[in-house]
Structure 1
Amino acid sequence: MTRAPVRRWRTLTAVTSLLLSTLTGLTAPSVAQAAPTPSTSITINGTKPGLTFDGVGAISGGGGNSRLLADYPEPQRSELLDYLYKPGYGASLQLLKLEIGGDTNSTDGAEPSHMHTADTVDCNQGYEWWMAEQAKARNPDIKLAALSWGAPGWIDGGNFWSQDTIDYLMSWMDCAAQHDLTIDYLGGWNERGYDKAWYRNLKDTLTSHGYATKVVAADSDWSVADAMAEDPAFNDAVDVVGVHYPCGYLGDYTTCSSTATAQGLGKPLWASENGSQDTDTGAQAVARSINRGYLDGKMTAYFNWPVIAALYPNLNFSTDGMSIANQPWSGNYKIGKTTWVTAHTTQFTRPGWKYIDSAGGYLGGKRTNGSYVTMKSTNNSDYSTVIETMDASVAQNARFTVTGGLSTGQVHVWATDVRSGDSSNWFVRRPDITPSGGKFKLTLEPGHVYTVTTTTGQGKGTATPPAPGALDLPYADTFDTPTTTTSPKYFSDMNGAFQTVACGGGRSGTCLRQMAPTTPIRWTDEPYNAPYTIMGDGRWSNYTVSVDTMLEKKGSVELLGRVNQQAKNNNGLNAYHLRVSDTGAWSIDKSDSRWTFTTLASGTTTALGTGSWHHIAFTFEGSTLSAMVDGVTVGSATDASYTTGQAGLGVTGYETDQFDNFALAPGTPASHVGPVASGLTGKCADAKDDADANGTQVQLWDCNGGSAQVWTWSNGTLTHNGKCMDVTGQGTANGTQVILWDCNGGANQQWTAQPDGALKAVQSGRCLDVPAATTTNGTQLVIWDCDGGANQRWTLP
């Protein structure tokens, strides 16, 4: 009934045009016609060829990124594991790569080796066995891979490419068997090239030990394929060509190429590490790369690094992975958008399915329109097509024709609006489509991922986390209470291996011991690589950290305090250190983001010696730092560089020292309420419209005593109406906007008050800034290089 007036209007228009043309020679203006919707025809023919799909997975390791997950309380720990591995619930990962720990930093932490020395094997070290067991419990079909980033220093004088390393890997494989874990794939040395003879030996040794494990080489670049093409024996030793970041590193991942030589080998080609992207803002890149890795480079597996950001917020890659879990004491976590982008492939396919090459490509033949791939099931009936329109600017139509023995029955559609920040728009089931004669159409909106499938069993997990909270002081750990792993609760090793063991020195019970006795074969290149471990809430300000310690050998132990931002790959740390040696020499030192150490105070007290227990304590009260040894205050220093941060333990070399009775006692509360006045006269920091919604702008405004200008300064954070002053998206670039956001303990919500009145953002090292020193009301505050200007000076409450 609504169409007739339209037809009449078109008829009248035509008559009017004819009359005007006849009578006056004029032509009536034509009615504007909408541009046709772009359309792509996709024929899904089950008889067409394609390579075998090996799966989509992620990497636990490459730097302690899973560490805190084991310390989460129930039920939150199980919820997070379900979101990672449970089929039909979340990311539903099909592959899991484990780091073979080497007692050395491998990005955001160090994972412990199962052999700290050549004559000792401990198959229960670390948390990767636990992670793999949890993954297998949820998905028995998940495939496991393993790779070394570093290795203990006892191996062949530091030579990774040695028989020692192969024997070491065989002992690790034997440990996996003790845990009832089958390792399906094994690599060499992460991103450190290859040694052809070593890989041939590795393959022969695996076979002689009865392992059917496939060898992956070389977890670096495509040059390994050239070497394989030139050396038949090397080629025979390698089962899978694994390459890192074939789509580029930290980019948009619009192109994911391989080489003709690699494709000519006839071996599976894998993106054996990709990702390194924020769990939300990196989802678009991940969506492109899962599809385009196959379209551009015939890569049949994709590993995202890392599997989860279960690490502290002051570490460099603290928001990468499927989810974020950095508060084990509160149980708070965040399921990222990357989880749901990944689920669009993993929940609708299985390793062993076949790609259908003729049913994959770029929409309309243009990369900017988006991409699509299709896989068929081993039952030769079911199929799934995954489509991404990350760069599209207009809606498009996809017109499907299904043939070649595949199901022409009902089609299920799932969609994620990747441009949306609302999680209710992620992984949503749309109305089913009933094909007619094997044909159907789907409208594709820009910035989406779609899955079109005949399979069932998919779902979106419904578990939700509790609110974030502080780790309150006092806090203590005697190390006597067993934990999920051999690491004590909340401690995260940055170098070396801190393990709970039976106490020495005549003391009963359990103590914490640094286990690595020699400098490992390293992966990172930080100028200071001594073992240390950190723990706790980065918002702590005034407190005393103390511990009992026993030096097993000559050297020094240390307490760390106000630990905040760590530089990438442990190439620096903003922190204070109390160091005490066996001779009684002590010092209070400050380290920075380049591992430059400044001694703030030093002296000598009674010698500690070796083999006996002593008590040391480090107190932070405002800008005063005090040191105590065996109950006696030995000295103090004044420094205001770092106002908040975690606590930690360390040794100044690869020594096997022990610790017990770790404790944190609160100092004077550092909380003040009032305005934050700018160095620009009469101006204050203001929450726009006195709102408290996430994303509310923090702006400059005339100081007026209003509620929008009431801030609470506590432990290095500024809050308004319960929301934290936050650097948008954990950005570090000049000009990144400052907003309000839920307090989460992130380094982008921590600020250090400088002696000149500047407020330095802990994560970036840049200062809270009024752009161009303007005094215009409503000016958005940002971060900028610290320059001492009045527009960067603030008076705290």
Structure 2
Amino acid sequence: MASHWVKQGLTSSIMWNLVGSYFHGTAWYASSRLTAQEPWTGHYGSMSPVWATAHVTQFTKPGWDILEVDGGSGHLPAGGFYVTYADPSSGDWTLTIVKISADHAPCTRPALPHYEVAAENATFELRPWVKRSTLSVWYSNFEAFGADGRVDSLFKRLPDIEADGDNRFTVEVQPGAYYTISTITKGPTKGEPAAPVPASQPRMPLPYADDFEDYPVSQEAKYWSDQIGVFEVHHDGSTPNKVMRQMVPETPIGWWDLGTRGPMTLLGMKEWQDINVSAAFKAPSGGAGCLGTRANQMWETGITLCVFTDGRYVLSDGGPSLAGEYKGKIYASGKLPSPLPSSSFTSLSLTTVGGAAHGAVDGQVIFSSAPISDAGTGFAILGTNAWLPVLFDDARVEQAGPDWGPLAPACPAAEAGAALFARPCEKNGRVAEDQRFELLPSWGLRHVGSGLCAFAGSAAEGTRLSLSTCDPKDARQRLKNDYTTIRNSLQELTLEAGNSRFHLAGGFDGSVFLAAKRSADRLPRQVQSWDSWSFFPNTGQLRNQYDPNESMGYPRCLSTCKPTGSLPIVV
């Protein structure tokens, strides 16, 4: 708010959403004021954005004035902003002071120009007509990190102050600081949740099943998240049976995808690979019922089975094109003995395990062990091929294959000095302790099990990374990244040393090291590497892929375990 008013004259900010509980892997994940990262439990983590908001909302009310720049609001001399809010009725006022470093305040759109901040003592003088009273002081510092790399000072009340004989008061403002100084001394509080935070369950529980009977008409079904088109619960014609129906009759005005693939809704985890998806469907002439596994948000990737009303079926990579032509790879295709019945539902089933897919229609196998790519992971899908009112019923998602059980210890417990590696990511949302990391606000990369942080012994090309006691002041542990997007895309993690910048890189030989920009392009082909990563918050995995990249094979994850056996070299 402070910078918005001082720099642009904006009087409000919209946080989209106040509370967000999207599946990780969908756009704008973690962009809400409060993120509940597990829709299936409601568990939520950091409250930092909430307490930042409280610096304004607990000390102002609708109808208060915002004082003009150079008349109560403005720029701090050493970087940062201050804004004063005033109640025209009572004379109460609230001053907010904000000084956040540029690398902790990125803006998604548009990017902010670079700026510098430094510590300073800021003195404020009250004009003769300003209300004088004891002033409450509330303080946060989003860049004052504890030994564990986390923020310690969040919305704390400091001792009250009063202006001196010259009607002045002085505040020490460090980078990361957020002060609220106000005549409002009673009422504001740092509350506690009314109910305990739900316990974390990182992996969505399976099996999942829904016959859609328990929803009011026109409501969305639980967990299904529409990405293309709209799916609502309605009656199947005049019958009492409730189904999920695709509602959009024609290509809408798109913001992102302007009409590439058919309508679809998704559910699950971006880590899923080996699952069975089944449902019954009924479609008008020319339509299709589609099931998918390992899909990304816009159905550009994923193993998809579509069965058309004329009896054709296609097993493809990615969803069906609205133009009628498949743009991805076709793994299998064929035709049923007869067209689908128009008045009754047809049951579909798709199972993917490793590099094989199995499909069935009304219980009859149409392909078994069809070879597919084993590199992809992603969501379960219900969808169709066109803007048609296709109906779905009795949807079910289940575990498939052997890679769902508890994990045996993969390597000895991590300790200081132990090297870091890159090995194939654990499948299906299983949490492997050697691959479970946490992105700290201090730019540290903390291994959850040991409490130790990734560390580069020297800022030099080729330096291997290891674990060390977390120290937010140690520049060799600061791997800066765009934390607003690293959960939604591939991003570089950058270690800065003077004028040099090195990126966290990994090799297909299992090594993890520092690399200068684009050095991966200059490495010998037999030691190919990557230098961008994506963070998967439910499992704590730092992956070398966000969406599947066939040329890189199955995703690799940062790990405290040395890979066993031989890893394929991608050429």
Structure 1 partner of 2:180: 451
Contact 2:82 2:95 in 1 (8 A): yes
Cα shift at 1:632 = 0.3
Cα shift at 1:380 = 4.2
2:266 aligned to 504, 516, 534, which one? 534
Describe how 1:216-227 pairs up with structure 2 within 5 A.
Answer: none
The alignment partner of 2:83 has SS state of strand
Question: Within the alignment, does 1:296 sit opposite 2:7 as a pair?
Answer: yes
**1:244-291 Cα shifts (integer Å, max 9, x gaps):** xxxxxxxxxxxxxxxxxxxxxxxxxxxxxxxxxxxxxxxxxxxxxx22
2:331 aligned to 565, 576, 600, which one? 600
Letter in 1 for 2:137: V
Provide the TM-score with structure 2 as the length reference: 0.70
Letter in 1 for 2:538: N
Structure 2 partner of 1:492: 225
Structure 1 partner of 2:113: none
Structure 2 partner of 1:652: 385
Contact 2:202 2:429 in 1 (8 A): no
2:74 aligned to 338, 343, 361, which one? 361
Structure 1 partner of 2:366: 634
Instruction: Select the structure that is richer in helix.
Output: 1
Cα shift at 1:339 = 2.6
Structure 1 partner of 2:522: none
Percent identity of equivalent pairs: 25
Question: Within the alignment, does 1:426 sit opposite 2:154 as a pair?
Answer: yes
**1:565-596 Cα shifts (integer Å, max 9, x gaps):** 43xxx4x5321111000011001111299994
C-alpha distance in 2 between matches for 1:396 and 1:725: 32
Describe how 1:229-244 pairs up with structure 2 within 5 A.
Answer: none
The alignment partner of 2:140 has SS state of strand
Cα shift at 1:780 = 12
2:304 aligned to 570, 577, 585, which one? 577
Cα shift at 1:560 = 1.4
When residues 686 and 647 of structure 1 are mapped into structure 2, their CA distance, relative to the original with a 3 A threshold, is same
Structure 2 partner of 1:733: 491
The alignment partner of 1:625 has SS state of strand
Structure 2 partner of 1:237: none
1:324 aligned to 1, 17, 35, which one? 35
1:699 aligned to 412, 415, 420, which one? 420
The alignment partner of 1:294 has SS state of helix
Question: Within the alignment, does 1:351 sit opposite 2:62 as a pair?
Answer: yes
Cα shift at 1:759 = 4.2
Structure 1 partner of 2:120: 396
The alignment partner of 2:11 has SS state of strand
Question: Within the alignment, does 1:386 sit opposite 2:96 as a pair?
Answer: yes
2:428 aligned to 692, 715, 726, which one? 715
Q: What is the root-mean-square deviation of aligned Cα atoms in Å?
A: 3.9
When residues 656 and 592 of structure 1 are mapped into structure 2, their CA distance, relative to the original with a 3 A threshold, is closer
- How many residues of Structure 1 are paired with residues of Structure 2 in the alignment? 454
Structure 1 partner of 2:190: 460
Question: Within the alignment, does 1:315 sit opposite 2:26 as a pair?
Answer: yes
Contact 1:671 1:713 in 2 (8 A): no
When residues 584 and 461 of structure 1 are mapped into structure 2, their CA distance, relative to the original with a 3 A threshold, is farther
Cα shift at 1:416 = 1.5
Larger Rg: 1
When residues 513 and 740 of structure 1 are mapped into structure 2, their CA distance, relative to the original with a 3 A threshold, is closer
Letter in 2 for 1:482: Y
C-alpha distance in 2 between matches for 1:647 and 1:378: 55
Cα shift at 1:484 = 11
Structure 1 partner of 2:525: none
C-alpha distance in 2 between matches for 1:686 and 1:483: 52
Cα shift at 1:508 = 3.6
**1:617-670 Cα shifts (integer Å, max 9, x gaps):** 111122111111011011142113445332121111100011111112322231
Cα shift at 1:308 = 3.8
**1:413-434 Cα shifts (integer Å, max 9, x gaps):** 1122112453542222222113
Letter in 1 for 2:245: R
The alignment partner of 1:715 has SS state of coil
Describe how 1:669-708 pairs up with structure 2 within 5 A.
Answer: 669-671=402-404, 689=415, 699-700=420-421
Cα shift at 1:561 = 1.2
C-alpha distance in 1 between matches for 2:261 and 2:551: 33
C-alpha distance in 2 between matches for 1:725 and 1:600: 38
When residues 297 and 409 of structure 1 are mapped into structure 2, their CA distance, relative to the original with a 3 A threshold, is same
1:376 aligned to 77, 82, 86, which one? 86
The alignment partner of 2:426 has SS state of strand
Describe how 1:770-785 pairs up with structure 2 within 5 A.
Answer: none
Structure 1 partner of 2:523: none
Further displaced range: 619-628 or 437-446? 437-446
Cα shift at 1:543 = 2.3
Contact 1:717 1:725 in 2 (8 A): no
Question: Within the alignment, does 1:744 sit opposite 2:475 as a pair?
Answer: no
C-alpha distance in 1 between matches for 2:548 and 2:404: 13
C-alpha distance in 2 between matches for 1:454 and 1:630: 71
Provide the TM-score with structure 1 as the length reference: 0.51
Contact 1:537 1:745 in 2 (8 A): no
Structure 1 unmatched runs, 5+: 1-289, 677-684, 692-696, 702-708, 761-766, 771-777, 782-789
When residues 426 and 546 of structure 1 are mapped into structure 2, their CA distance, relative to the original with a 3 A threshold, is same
Letter in 2 for 1:547: A
**1:684-716 Cα shifts (integer Å, max 9, x gaps):** x9985179xxxxx97149xxxxxxx9x993426
Structure 2 partner of 1:586: 313
Question: Within the alignment, does 1:416 sit opposite 2:140 as a pair?
Answer: yes
When residues 756 and 511 of structure 1 are mapped into structure 2, their CA distance, relative to the original with a 3 A threshold, is closer
**1:517-571 Cα shifts (integer Å, max 9, x gaps):** 22223333445142100012333332211111111343112111122x43xxx4x
Structure 2 partner of 1:479: 212
The alignment partner of 1:327 has SS state of coil
Structure 1 partner of 2:293: 561
1:439 aligned to 168, 179, 201, which one? 168
**1:34-70 Cα shifts (integer Å, max 9, x gaps):** xxxxxxxxxxxxxxxxxxxxxxxxxxxxxxxxxxxxx
Letter in 1 for 2:190: K
Letter in 2 for 1:439: R
Contact 1:578 1:586 in 2 (8 A): yes
